[in-house]
Amino acid sequence: MDHEEVKDWIIPPDYDHTDAEAKHLIYESDTNKDGKLSKEEIIEHYDTFVGSQATDFGEALTKHDEF
């Protein structure tokens, strides 16, 4: 494999990391499986969000008073 083939294998150009992470957070935290996250579900699964790159590893949770 050449350099470009390795790059495309490691980071596929058609892979949306943001979408994948959002779907992962909802899948892991949506306790009642309604497709939405409530404040209670986010708090219940706080550790999942703190470990997520989407929340800047928990930083975003400290900047919003609704959490």
Query: How many separate helices (H) and strands (E) can be counted in the chain?
Result: 5, 0
Query: Residue 28 domain-assigned?
Result: yes
Number of domains comprising the chain? 1
- pLDDT in the model for residue 36: 94
Query: Residue 37 domain-assigned?
Result: yes
- pLDDT in the model for residue 11: 82
Query: Residue 9 domain-assigned?
Result: no
Query: Residue 12 domain-assigned?
Result: no
Quote the domain boundaries for residue 58.
17-62
- pLDDT in the model for residue 49: 78
- pLDDT in the model for residue 26: 94
Query: Residue 26 domain-assigned?
Result: yes
- pLDDT in the model for residue 56: 62
- Spatial distance between the Cα atoms of 50 and 57, rounded to a whole number of angstroms: 5
**Cα angle vertex 57, ends 55, 67, to 5°?**
50
Query: Residue 41 domain-assigned?
Result: yes
Query: Residue 39 domain-assigned?
Result: yes
Residue whose token pair is 């083939």: 5
Residue whose token pair is 């009642």: 32
- pLDDT in the model for residue 15: 84
Query: Residue 8 domain-assigned?
Result: no
Query: Residue ranges of the chain with pLDDT lower than 50?
Result: 67
